């Protein structure tokens, strides 16, 4: 378990992390989300003892990271996939890390096989592609067979097969009862991967809830209707006091969008007024929609949209 308690980090006049508290539970995948500059990387560095908090503390299984003996056996982390000596082979890189924590050589071969790098184990890591570097970073995080994993953008640079493999690996690790904290900007992937979300903006906690509840609470689902009796159905909706607006689908056909309603209710209304519908569908809210809704005021660098 990871416990963040009133964590604060100030760099001169910049308050990077502001009285942040949350808990990462075992047995589930927790997504750590926020806009650029929100303080995610700084928070993860403080959890791992790489940065000293101005105030507050972060505990791993009840202890600060610095007090853990042979920490790789308890915590595996990937914060920077480029943190490797370019002239060392993948095997040498992992062997060096393993020796520092008393991890046997046999485990190096195991994790190289796990991440699919066995065939390039003797090649210099400096020549690795971005995706291969990510796999090597994941291998290093898994070296000590830790109960806790902290990963910052673990699928960056991976192809679709690699992304799916990471998703399945994280799911398997969580099902084994391990604690998994993943930071990513790929919201569509987080929607498929994370069970729980911790969302921050400008260093402050914005949300700490299940992925399902986050999407439901911060975005709308919309019923989409298409009918030859377009105006008649708009009138029926108005009579019932149901807000709706006109739109067009990808083929340029006129549709009606009705927020915060169910297909059962709208279909029942169409039946009651004897209007035939050519389409009755539900446009589901997405994690991206919910994220943009809740973090809009916390974006540090806002680009102009024309």
Angle at 187 between CA 298 and CA 10, to 5 degrees: 35
The pLDDT confidence band at residue 297, using thresholds 50, 70 and 90, is low
Of the pLDDT bands very low, low, confident and very high (cuts 50, 70, 90), residue 298 is: low
Tell me the average pLDDT of the chain: 91
Is the distance from CB of 173 to CB of 8 less than 8 angstroms?
A: no
Q: Do the Cβ atoms of 152 and 40 come closer than 8 Å?
A: yes
Q: How confident is the model at residue 283 (pLDDT cuts 50, 70, 90)?
A: confident
pLDDT in tens, 193-216: 999 999 999 999 999 999 988 988
- pLDDT-derived band at 300 (thresholds 50, 70, 90) equals low
Q: What is the pLDDT of residue 158?
A: 86
Q: Which of 147-151, 216-220, 275-279 has the lowest mean pLDDT?
A: 216-220
pLDDT at 21: 97
pTM above 0.85, yes or no: no
Distance CA 27, CA 173 (A): 8
Helices 130-142 and 90-100, axial angle in degrees (round to 10): 20
pLDDT at 294 over 60: yes
Q: What is the pLDDT of residues 72-93, one digit of tens each?
A: 999 999 998 778 888 899 999 9
Alpha carbon distance 225, 266 (integer Å): 9
Residue-wise pLDDT tens digits, 17-32: 999 999 999 999 999 9
For 214-226, write each residue's pLDDT tens digit: 988 877 788 999 9
36-51 per-position pLDDT tens digit: 889 999 999 999 999 9
Backbone φ and ψ for 15, nearest 5 degrees, come out as -95, 95
What domains can be seen in the chain, in order of their start residue? 2-217 (3.40.50.300), 221-284 (3.30.70.100)
Q: For the CA atoms of 108, 111, 115, 117, what is the dihedral angle to 10 degrees?
A: 20
| Phi, psi angles (nearest 5°) of residue 135 | -65, -40
Say yes or no to pLDDT of 303 above 70: no
Q: Is the pLDDT of residue 305 over 50?
A: no
Measure the CA–CA gap between 201 and 33, rounded to whole angstroms: 9
């Amino acid at each position: 378990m990871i416990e963040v308690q009133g964590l604060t980090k100030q760099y001169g006049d910049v308050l990077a992390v502001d009285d942040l508290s949350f808990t990462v539970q075992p047995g589930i995948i927790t997504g750590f989300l926020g806009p650029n500059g929100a303080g995610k990387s700084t928070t993860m560095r403080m959890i791992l003892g790489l940065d000293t908090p101005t105030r507050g503390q972060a505990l791993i299984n009840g202890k600060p990271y610095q007090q853990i003996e042979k920490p790789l056996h308890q915590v595996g982390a990937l914060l920077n996939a480029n943190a490797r000596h370019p002239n060392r082979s993948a095997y040498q890189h992992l062997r060096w890390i393993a020796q520092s924590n008393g991890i046997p050589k046999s485990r190096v071969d195991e994790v190289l096989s796990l991440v699919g790098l066995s065939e390039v184990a003797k090649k210099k890591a400096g020549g690795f592609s971005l995706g291969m570097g990510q796999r090597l970073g994941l291998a290093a995080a898994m070296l000590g067979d830790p109960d806790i994993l902290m990963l910052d953008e673990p699928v960056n640079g991976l192809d679709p097969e690699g992304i799916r493999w990471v998703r399945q690996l994280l799911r398997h690790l969580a099902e084994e009862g391990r604690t998994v904290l993943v930071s990513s900007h790929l919201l569509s992937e987080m929607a498929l991967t994370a069970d729980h979300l911790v969302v921050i903006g400008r260093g402050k906690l914005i949300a700490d809830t299940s992925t399902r509840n986050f999407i439901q609470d911060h975005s709308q689902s919309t019923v989409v209707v298409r009918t030859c009796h377009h105006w008649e159905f708009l009138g029926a909706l108005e009579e019932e006091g149901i807000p709706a607006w006109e739109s067009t689908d990808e083929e340029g056909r006129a549709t009606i969008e009705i927020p915060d309603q169910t297909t059962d209710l709208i279909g029942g209304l169409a039946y009651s007024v004897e209007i035939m519908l050519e389409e009755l569908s539900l446009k589901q809210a997405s994690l991206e929609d919910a994220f943009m809704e809740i973090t809009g005021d916390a974006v540090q660098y806002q680009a102009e949209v024309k």
